[in-house]
Structure 1
Amino acid sequence: MIIRFKRLGFVIAMVSLSPVVFAQKAQQVTVLKSANENKVDVAIGGRPFTSFLYPDTLEKPVLYPLHAANGTVVTRSFPLQSRAGDPTDHPHHIGLWFNFESLNGLDFWNNSYAIPANKKKLYGWVRTDRILETKSGDTGVLIYHANWTDQQKNIILEETTRYEFSGNENQRVIDRFTTLKADKDAFFKDAKDGMLGLRLAHELQMPTTEDQNFTDDKGNVTVVKGGTDKVANGNYITSAGKTGNDAWSSRGIWCKVFGKMGADSVSIAIIDHPKNPNYPTFWHARGYGLFAANPLGEKIFTNGKSEKMLTLKKGESVTFRYQIVINNGSKTISVAQLNTLAGSFAKK
């Protein structure tokens, strides 16, 4: 099946999309663009939350690292920093990002410093060229513009993304709204690796002592080493009730990863939106720490029973909407609370 989109205005609604807050006071958000680096820092309640990084040395912009409200870093440190015990597989997994494995034959997802120069032509780049707005307040706002290009910087898509950041004593929320406009005909081929990706801290991985091999569409094999340090203690649950490794390739309105980090229970949930293509999304949620929502990987997730392609003619646009919710405390966010959040987010 091919998904087609009518010509849409290249506009993202500039409305406040504050999350449901469960009986806690919202904390002030500060969004500050660096004067001398390609970086925007976000703090909530006076504590660092994340940074939007878009240097020329990265093949895509990322939010990195992500902190829970108690200051715990919930994303893997590698490859931008070093932390004892961090896995060093998949160097393209950095913080929180958005791209795709197969657009006009180019692989945007797997591009990283590890790709040999003579193979870079097979990979695409997301190049941020300007910050459109930053705003602090009860809800922090960051809007940027980027181009999805080939190695020669020929533009395939223009991206405009609006981030909204909010939080309270035990919660951090990111609302992401990304509009992609085709500068030329753009074809997203059904593929496994996409679209909203998050690489988890070691503690939130599912425990395993066995090595695992993963092969991309070009035949490159990545080995993910098993561990015996007993640090990993994570697990997944979806809105459809799938848990653990069964979350992978399943569909759901939301998916939550959870585990102990220090003395606290920590969880990260990704919530899909009913206006997204192919809702509810498939979950590309791996036990080794990749947590992704991919609505355009249906062929592999259904063992070839069906597939979804997305085609944009020149001038056409599509918008993707996601909410990321990070909680810490004596227990993780409940199914009922996530359903409430999902219902609220669906109305935005």
Structure 2
Amino acid sequence: MINLWCRSLLVMLVLAPVPGSAWSDGDSTGSDQARGPNPTLTIEGDRFLLDGRPFSMWGIRTASGTQDDAQCDHLVAQLDDYKAHGVNTVAVYYMGCRGGNYDPFSPDGTAIDPGHQERMERIIRACAEREMVVVVGLFYQHAPFGLRDAGAVREAVRTATEALEPFGNIIINIANEQNSGGWSDTAAVFDFRDPERIIELCRLVHEVDPGRIVGGGGYDHEKNIVIGGSPEVDALLFDTAGPDPDSGALYDRFVAAGVEGKPIVNVELFGGWTGQFERGIFPEEVRRAYLREVEAAATQPGLSVFFHNNVWCQQEPMRYDLAGSGTEDDPGIRWYFEAVREATGQPGDRQAEGAPEAPPVAFEDQPDGLRMTIGGEPFATYVFERGETTRPFLEHLHTPRGVQVTRNNPPVEGVDIADHPTFHPGLWLAFGDLGGPDSWRDNDPIRHAGFVEEPQGGPGRGDFVVRNRHIKGGEVIAEEVCRLTMLVRPAGRLLIWDSEFRPVGGTLALGDQEEMGLGVRLATPLAAVNGGRIIDSEGRVNEAGVWGRQADWCSYSGEAGGDRAGILLMPDPGHFRRSWYHARDYGLLVANPFGRRAFTGGEPSRVVVEEGEALRLRFGVLVFDGEPDPDAAYRDFLEQIGHGG
């Protein structure tokens, strides 16, 4: 029988590569190792710094995000939306929370359930890639508590601290609501209600990892003063339980009592009070209470607050998505995040005061996919698979003025340039060599395995998240979670294609071909052979100048029926490598970060994703009329993904 608490397996997890999308480009020389970011959080006085730059912390409590794979996928899928609204930190507990309790520690505290640790690391890496932070909570009062004695509690702190040591973008929070009566059940093992015990465990964290930021607290504010006043506590992480937390006044109280020179963070606004009103519906007085907290944090640099709503984030099925505006007709928590975006000055799809509302994005189920409209007019159709094209794709993309910018699918005889009728269905992400399988040429399928998040539309924005399975010989070799986001932007319709790939049953090695990455087949009238034009960010033109060259963006446009229209491809600059472009005058454009030998004749590229790690690929696709400024459109794309230029 396999011992789930095998320490050697835990060590394997701890020593796995750290970056946000943890993979390596496996050249035999080791000279081209590709690694994602691992930002480091530090403290200077009462302020946080991330990689030495000021970091104004805005958070959300997502305590049970590690409890199973589906919950983890759901949380990771929200991170870009959080970041776009200025929320840059998530709080996750090893023991989860009410609604998702779980004890991953072995009874003696010397090991963590490997699957649980893998999910925690996945969240941390995904946040690192986005320059976000994770507050990692260790203990939760309502969880099934299997640690057998005080020594096991201390050992669990050591084990978790060692497991988290490779990551720079975390804070350790010792225990949830340390003064809660819920801890009375475990008092015989370890009395978390005693502030000195919290300080003791903070000291233990520093013994294991001297540079780690650690804190604790609860909603007994006299005990918070004791905890926050200790030099072993780097940040006071307190909670508030009632309808009027007044974090600003509490901040002043803590500082006056000697908790100074360190950040003060309310990691749980309102506590259980939010269970007293309906899920996703926020009466006006409730909104005012939340907005007072946003204002307090925005005006006091040493104070941070974390959104919490137990009926949304802790009541099964737990939800971390923003959804709607918080009304009975449109339940959700997006209204709070919009308030944070206003407070932090984040760019996004806010409407100027008095401006007309952006046209709504809507979805209509089809037998083999989804039809998408913007303002009631066709935008595109997402197809799971059809006929000989055995992978997902988008077909018949339209500009705001209604010009179809992708080739007819299938090509129309006598109208279209008809090569590659099934390989080039419109817009797609596929690979000629995904560790052997070839989904580009439809030799090996990519199967739609369901929605992680159902389609959700609204003014100026719509998105959905799907799970895809990459198949070889009837076996799943990789799982892909893909978010597609449609945004109404000044320059046109912006589609953000964001996919994360995880190997199944072994490593995944992506090879080196022209036919790798995000591809689009332009409508026949727009092709360069018919008078269209390809141009990249370096000013190079058409196939002769663009093919096989690296660039930040590449535009392909032409005239159809007297109207100029086109598509702008924009890879995320956070990828492991700048993309080359497989550009053809007959109408093909592909952004490909893999084809080093195929395009340059250099050393072959081999990007390896180890089991338990992930590769993230993200692209912006602007569908436009006329001739928008591509540099401005690219900057707008960077703002939308929170890259900051």
Report the TM-score, using the length of structure 1 for normalisation.
Answer: 0.80
Q: 2:432 is matched with which residue?
A: 101
1:33 aligns with 2:365: yes
Of 593, 614, 635, the match for 1:340: 635
CA RMSD of aligned residues (A): 2.5
1:193 aligns with 2:502: no
1:13 aligns with 2:343: no
Of 39, 44, 56, the match for 2:374: 44
Of 277, 281, 284, the match for 2:582: 284
1:327 aligns with 2:327: no
Of 526, 541, 562, the match for 1:243: 541
Report the TM-score, using the length of structure 2 for normalisation.
Answer: 0.44
Check 1:39–1:266 CA distance in 2 against 1; reply closer, same or farther (3 A cut).
same
Check 1:95–1:284 CA distance in 2 against 1; reply closer, same or farther (3 A cut).
same
Q: CA deviation at 1:281?
A: 0.8
Report matched runs for 1:49-198 at 5 Å: 49-55=379-385, 57=387, 58-79=389-410, 82=412, 84-91=414-421, 92-111=423-442, 123-132=443-452, 133-138=454-459, 139-152=461-474, 154-167=475-488, 171-183=492-504, 184-198=506-520
Q: Quick one: distance in 1 between partners of 2:361 and 2:495? A: 12
Q: 1:299 is matched with which residue?
A: 597
Deviations 1:151-175 (A, max 9, x none): 42x0111011001112268611101
Q: CA deviation at 1:344?
A: 2.1
Q: Structure 1 counterpart of 2:514, which letter?
A: K
Q: CA deviation at 1:272?
A: 1.4
Q: Quick one: distance in 1 between partners of 2:488 and 2:414? A: 29
Q: Quick one: distance in 2 between partners of 1:100 and 1:327? A: 27
Q: CA deviation at 1:340?
A: 2.6
Check 1:192–1:126 CA distance in 2 against 1; reply closer, same or farther (3 A cut).
same
Q: Quick one: distance in 2 between partners of 1:322 and 1:343? A: 10
1:260 aligns with 2:260: no
> Contact conserved, 2:372 with 2:381, CA < 8 A, in 1?
yes
Q: Quick one: distance in 2 between partners of 1:262 and 1:204? A: 10
Q: Quick one: distance in 2 between partners of 1:202 and 1:323? A: 22
Deviations 1:66-114 (A, max 9, x none): 11111111111142x5364201111211111101001222211112xxx
Q: Structure 2 counterpart of 1:41, which letter?
A: R
Q: Structure 2 counterpart of 1:283, which letter?
A: Y
Aligned length: 304
Larger Rg: 2
- Structure 2: 5+ residue runs without aligned partners? 1-24, 27-32, 39-71, 85-347
Deviations 1:37-80 (A, max 9, x none): 1211110011011111114633100111111111111111142x
Q: Structure 1 counterpart of 2:358, which letter?
A: A
Q: Quick one: distance in 2 between partners of 1:325 and 1:175? A: 9
> Contact conserved, 2:396 with 2:408, CA < 8 A, in 1?
yes
Paired residue secondary structure (1:340): helix
Q: CA deviation at 1:342?
A: 4.5
What percentage of aligned pairs have identical amino acids? 25
Paired residue secondary structure (2:382): strand
> Contact conserved, 1:30 with 1:43, CA < 8 A, in 2?
yes
* Deviation larger for 15-24 or 314-323: 15-24
- Bigger relative contact order, structure 1 or 2, given CA contacts below 8 A and separation 6+? 1
Check 1:31–1:78 CA distance in 2 against 1; reply closer, same or farther (3 A cut).
closer
- Higher strand proportion, which one? 1
